[in-house]
Amino acid sequence: MARSKSSGRWLKEHFDDVYVQRSRQDGYRSRASYKLLEINEKGQFIKPGMTVIDLGSAPGGWSQVAAKLVGDHGRVIASDILPMDAIAGVDFIQGDFTEQEVFDQIMELLDAQLADLVISDMAPNMSGMSAVDQPKAMYLVELALDMALQTLRPGGAFIAKVFQGEGFDAYLRSVRDSFRKVSTRKPSSSRSRSREVYLVAEDYNGQSGS
């Protein structure tokens, strides 16, 4: 079956993409790794010895970055509905983290500790129709926030991809209810036409805000 012109353009753009090329050279699983690296560069959110939870982790680009930065004395707990190949220093749980069984497995790995940081680069499969995609995207990031509020230590941080559009302002307010400092970032590796931004929420106040 012949490819459409638009999919042909996307493929060309993808393979010409400097971050796609760099990810191959640097051994990262996806160009998304550079988004987390750039966000972390400005704030040093991921430090040696930390416990990090990576939600929607497959194929593993963010887990790779986190594992490298927390080092041998830190740990990364990753979860995704999709399978993910093993990464040194990462405990991976396949399944839906909103389901009790998967949530219990994450809590078991935490072993009565609390996480220092929860990260989420989750996005739904995009249809290209904003009226369909935006509610799905907001639902995922609301689930990520809920997980963060259940697993973070007071003073912990949360980094998540959010799509600007309907529901964004209300979501931002709910994050500000629970974190003392909240900012938005648009990494240079994020495609300019994309509505994605990254919320960086610091200093969890230990309250769910609900």
Task: Give me the active site residues, please.
Answer: 161
d(CA 166, CA 130): 9
d(CA 155, CA 205): 6
Enumerate the known binding-site residues for S-adenosyl-L-methionine: 60, 62, 80, 96, 121
187: its two tokens? 């990494």
Identify the residue whose tokens are 């309907």: 166
Cα angle 30-32-34, degrees, rounded to a multiple of 5: 105
Backbone torsions φ then ψ of 76, nearest 5 degrees: -125, 125
Enumerate the known binding-site residues: 60, 62, 80, 96, 121
Spatial contact of 134 and 164, defined as CB atoms under 8 Å apart: no
Most distant CA pair in the chain, distance: 54
